[in-house]
Structure 1
């Protein structure tokens, strides 16, 4: 067998080096089949398997290098298709799938496959977790089975459960989306009943993780206290959601959870004394493997941890063999094994990023580092820069394809963060182990780990605050291909034509020193004399009424902390003297933490609420942490905040009964700014709109914030009664609710209103005064 070879330029000893790529197409086939199989009928997948096996049988006698590779690819196709077909048939034949198709309620025994993860957003706290149903109870009979499910449940009673815990629960069922590799989606109706405990090693790992989290909360400030357990053992329960978004925008998201870097640092720390004594490489690999297993147990054997461990195993294999070139076939083999064991990884962005980054580091970083060293760069700096450049360049097209953004600060942020990652990780692991035996010593180690962790927080915060830190880029396959071509073309041109390098450096300096400041000066947002901005926050509401330089009234906060924080940052808002929450649904209060973070907040106001609405406690806790006051507004009350005059129109206190719908109790306020009246309506439905119209309340306004994101549940008479000339619809693109409804848009048109939608226009601003005003819009990158 002849490996695919490539010459290495300017190798120190003058020898040729080669990279074995024979397993790469095999891994590609396994990945492609794992990705496509859930969308195909199992019988069709089985036919593909049989066909591939037949072709492999016909090609078995050929002995050329190409035939060997082809035979390996056909064998991979046959095996992967066969296992996918078996899985698909098992899913379709499961009795639970039949019940899910009918959306029946069931009582099941199940085992958790991972940690429950808290869902973002307001409202009742809920968690999601992967689980395996082991028994189905139907009356007096019990059916044993093994069915993978996706489970949603209330946080109470589920939040702190351990992987491997055996439970009994009552749940409603629904079929999974097309292409999902689970049998059903379950929604638990209440807390579970324990029918068995987790394994001893799971309980020990859980206790050690809890110990690190508790110690961090005692010793460190909230933000580093939430980051350290995530960085060390993947425990993100206390992670500040705004800080999490800062890490994403800065290109440092891999530091907020377990990644290949954690594995590499752990293995390096364990093997360092053995390497100092020149212990046999095979012994080092065995010790490293044991350390790897212990780390996986501590961090939980979830997909993100398993893939990180697999990338660490690639390093171990290269170490044991003494040949770095085996890393590529080892990486390809790891991909095949992981995908055959868990085909769902084929659709996991984190898995794709890990594989691509590891491949780039193995193939590109060593040559780039040697090139920099020959030009006088210090070895540590050369290695850090080469690794960051290789991983960043390779993964940027994937990130752009899925997020529609390109982080311009990722490389400098990663270089600044790199010196702090290793000490924070090592001290954090020591604190986890030592703290389980001697808590005061663990607290001391956490205190030491806090210093590099604070540096990581500082880097992420400052990088994310830079304007245009993550500008928009075309999403999808086309965007990825365009960015990959741009990076490859630029890299090739700079490598091939040395005279371009000074020119490129000068151009970059000009962009940073001149172009970037000029762009900030002329970006033109918000426009002068802005009266109102409807922020593009997806499927939710967040509206800003500027009251003075750097301050505004915020009406609702949308569903996501990052979106509303971005909008307020773009508007330069640092103070919120008043925040109005129309009601407590998640699409209106889910982003409240992002709105109040790092801003001065005065008063947070709601209307009257149903006595059965138990979501207020969570909102009041958040308001209290922000140092603000929570008040209740009633119809007839008026407030002036800067240039903004507010008049409360609804809801009346007598409507706040236990049976009242939260939408129909939406706080309705009319704001007047420089003579322009804006009617803010929350999520009112048709019945509440008719009741408000019939009460004789003056509803006239120049601008109407259309109720409930343009739902068809609207009263035409209410819309007409406003007399508005402009209708603003805050709505998410491609939402599953059908908002805005066609009938509603037709009613607005009949009323003579011009419609502006955040899903199509982005951020929408009303500008001017009553004598002359208009609407401006700006598309915002994701």
Structure 2
């Protein structure tokens, strides 16, 4: 049966392809049929930035629209109430199956069926009973639904709407002419407040324009675009011309929707990135929200009763709407004095203060943290190193890159949303750790396995400055990355031997390579490895050497230049500091032609970190390199075997851990 349902969905999706242009068919299939495989990844990303992805998933609102429309048709056919309820109970499971049976639509379908059954038996209770029954039924069928993000969001938001919408609505004016607008506003705000902790927990971003976007687009898409698309699909099966005419109306509406979403998404100033909060924070948020909604005062009614002229109070007892009492004011105060925690106003202020404190903690979880971190990320065959300084400055050195070995004529093998390490690994990881902006982005060189992932970084996270090796490379990814940086007006600085940057009080970066160039032209360099930016980094009293992809030839040149030109550094640093490192980032993923004995003897590293892919075909790291490291007594950690390598640094020293 499920196979036939899938075949029917595919057949209907093909009909939708005939009605809509290529850039809209995937969107409409997701909206009407719940088929999201053909949705343009760029479109999904734009909706995701504004917190609108729930529109693209079949959910309770879609089920409600389906029941309302089908019920209206049955009422036009003069069916009795009992028969309508029974018919709707039979129709809902078919709609759930046809729309893909995602956890959110299953939840809505179960609640709808239980509500229809209770209404048929005249035993309809409050919505929490229905919600709890639907949750139990789904978890009995599949306990792993509990870890599904859609399941959690669907049940959390539904419970929040049931519990919090009535008190919030009572606290707002009940003006007859604006009732619908206030109802919509309350539902939107409550849904955003309830979904907020789960949104930042899983997606680590929140756009302040999400509320007005939802306020405008949810009713427009749910009550206009989606019904027109569904009717166009049905008409297209019976009357192709009529279906095309209706589809043309929704095409025009979709164009405006996409333009609206695109323009709002471009407002980066109100888009925020949040670190993944702890579970206790989520519980505290919901508790604070519950207390706040419970303490909200009820707004006075705008309308007077019909016999308002009879319901009056003597003028002597009131003044300007404030009751006047004959007893002394001090006696009244003593009689009505309440502890601060029992006062509604005080409770509201405490709840708002607690909410503000929770928001501050979630946005700046490491505000007072003074431990630095150096994370060698596991990006496969490539390099990416994330650094957090003791005072919270963020540095990213390279961003990995997924290499493609497609031959000409094999483009058909490419997926619509191919895996890209920057988009799928680096950006989510940085956002998960609360990186609001990157203070310094270092491009060691312009090879694809170091920079291709940075395109997603530039498009997703603000970057304040870029340091690179001062060259160009005739490659599509390198040219696009630098063009994006120029377009975004990010300052570009050329790294040169001897330059030093004091990132903060306890963080210093020193450039050991490439050498100083006097020319103003930017050279084109095809083979970039030996022009990598090499950085010596000092965090408190611990040192790191980030050596890019240089070969042993360049290693020798760096050592010779350091000995020839000690004036490039302070005298005491040249004599003491630049003689040993605690951690060496092994050059070129452990290539045979890097990490020479001379290089290791000079730096005498206590530990080496190798960023290398588990299934690389280059033979990295080479056994000779591992042998040389062992002979120098250097411990080795590798991303292909150990996963991400994290170093934590404080005044007492440095210690490492690996993260799988």
**TM-score interval for Structure 1 and Structure 2 normalised by the shorter chain:** 0.5 to 0.7
Q: How big is the shift at 1:417?
A: 0.9
Aligned residue among 422, 438, 459 for 2:219: 422
Aligned residue among 429, 436, 447 for 1:570: 436
Is residue 175 of structure 2 the alignment partner of residue 368 of structure 1? no
Pair 725,692 (structure 1): closer, same or farther in 2 beyond 3 Å? closer
Q: How big is the shift at 1:486?
A: 3.8
Which residue does 2:408 correspond to in 1?
A: none
2:586–2:608 contact (8 Å) kept in structure 1: no
**Deviation by residue 1:464-516 (Cα, 9 ceiling, x = unmatched):** 8444x5355324xx44444444444555566763222674698699999xx98
Aligned residue among 515, 540, 556 for 2:399: 556
Pair 295,446 (structure 1): closer, same or farther in 2 beyond 3 Å? farther
Pair 349,317 (structure 1): closer, same or farther in 2 beyond 3 Å? farther
Pair 465,568 (structure 1): closer, same or farther in 2 beyond 3 Å? farther
Pair 450,331 (structure 1): closer, same or farther in 2 beyond 3 Å? same
2:58–2:99 contact (8 Å) kept in structure 1: yes
Give the secondary-structure state (helix, strand or coil) at the position aligned to 2:131: helix
**Deviation by residue 1:40-76 (Cα, 9 ceiling, x = unmatched):** xxxxxxxxxxxxxxxxxxxxxxxxxxxxxxxxxxxxx
Which residue does 1:38 correspond to in 2?
A: none
1:648–1:668 contact (8 Å) kept in structure 2: yes
Alignment of 1:257-296 (within 5 A): 257-271=57-71, 280-285=80-85, 288=88, 292=92, 295-296=95-96
**Deviation by residue 1:310-355 (Cα, 9 ceiling, x = unmatched):** 3444555566567652644433333344334434324323223323
Pair 423,270 (structure 1): closer, same or farther in 2 beyond 3 Å? farther
Aligned residue among 109, 127, 140 for 1:309: 109
Which residue does 1:235 correspond to in 2?
A: 36
Pair 341,525 (structure 1): closer, same or farther in 2 beyond 3 Å? closer
Which residue does 2:278 correspond to in 1?
A: 474
Structure 1 Cα separation of the partners of residues 58 and 587 of structure 2: 40
Aligned residue among 592, 597, 600 for 1:720: 600
1:593–1:622 contact (8 Å) kept in structure 2: no
Which residue does 1:448 correspond to in 2?
A: 253
Structure 2 Cα separation of the partners of residues 718 and 623 of structure 1: 36
Alignment of 1:537-616 (within 5 A): 541-542=383-384, 555-557=398-400, 558=422, 559-563=425-429, 570-571=436-437, 580=445, 582-584=447-449, 589=452, 592-596=455-459
Structure 2 Cα separation of the partners of residues 259 and 667 of structure 1: 55
Structure 1 Cα separation of the partners of residues 631 and 64 of structure 2: 59
Is residue 139 of structure 2 the alignment partner of residue 339 of structure 1? yes
Q: Kindly name which structure, 1 or 2, has the bigger radius of gyration based on alpha carbons.
A: 2
Q: How big is the shift at 1:542?
A: 3.6
Alignment of 1:622-633 (within 5 A): none
1:258–1:305 contact (8 Å) kept in structure 2: yes
Is residue 345 of structure 2 the alignment partner of residue 499 of structure 1? yes
Which residue does 2:229 correspond to in 1?
A: 431
Which residue does 2:326 correspond to in 1?
A: none
1:296–1:309 contact (8 Å) kept in structure 2: yes
Structure 2 Cα separation of the partners of residues 441 and 346 of structure 1: 40
Structure 2 Cα separation of the partners of residues 275 and 580 of structure 1: 70
Alignment of 1:642-661 (within 5 A): none
Which residue does 2:14 correspond to in 1?
A: 207
1:639–1:646 contact (8 Å) kept in structure 2: yes
2:547–2:586 contact (8 Å) kept in structure 1: yes
Which residue does 1:670 correspond to in 2?
A: 533
Q: How big is the shift at 1:420?
A: 0.9
Alignment of 1:110-149 (within 5 A): none
Structure 2 Cα separation of the partners of residues 708 and 265 of structure 1: 60
Structure 1 Cα separation of the partners of residues 497 and 554 of structure 2: 25
Structure 2 Cα separation of the partners of residues 482 and 598 of structure 1: 28
Structure 1 Cα separation of the partners of residues 21 and 482 of structure 2: 22
2:375–2:645 contact (8 Å) kept in structure 1: no
2:556–2:599 contact (8 Å) kept in structure 1: no
1:434–1:442 contact (8 Å) kept in structure 2: yes
Q: How big is the shift at 1:525?
A: 12
Structure 2 Cα separation of the partners of residues 416 and 535 of structure 1: 37
In structure 2, runs of 5+ residues without a counterpart are 298-341, 388-393, 401-421, 488-494, 502-509, 516-526, 563-577, 613-625, 637-642, 656-660
**Deviation by residue 1:617-673 (Cα, 9 ceiling, x = unmatched):** 9x69987996999xxxxxxx9999999989579xxxxxx9xxxxxxxx988723469
Which residue does 1:299 correspond to in 2?
A: 99
**Deviation by residue 1:222-242 (Cα, 9 ceiling, x = unmatched):** xxxx76655553515444479
Alignment of 1:523-542 (within 5 A): 541-542=383-384
Structure 2 Cα separation of the partners of residues 284 and 403 of structure 1: 40
Structure 2 Cα separation of the partners of residues 622 and 433 of structure 1: 43
Give the secondary-structure state (helix, strand or coil) at the position aligned to 1:325: coil
**Deviation by residue 1:377-429 (Cα, 9 ceiling, x = unmatched):** 943344335445655565566667x6597x7767x734641331132244145
2:375–2:385 contact (8 Å) kept in structure 1: yes
Structure 2 Cα separation of the partners of residues 648 and 568 of structure 1: 32
Give the secondary-structure state (helix, strand or coil) at the position aligned to 2:228: helix
Kindly tell me the number of residue pairs found equivalent between the two proteins: 502
1:583–1:667 contact (8 Å) kept in structure 2: no
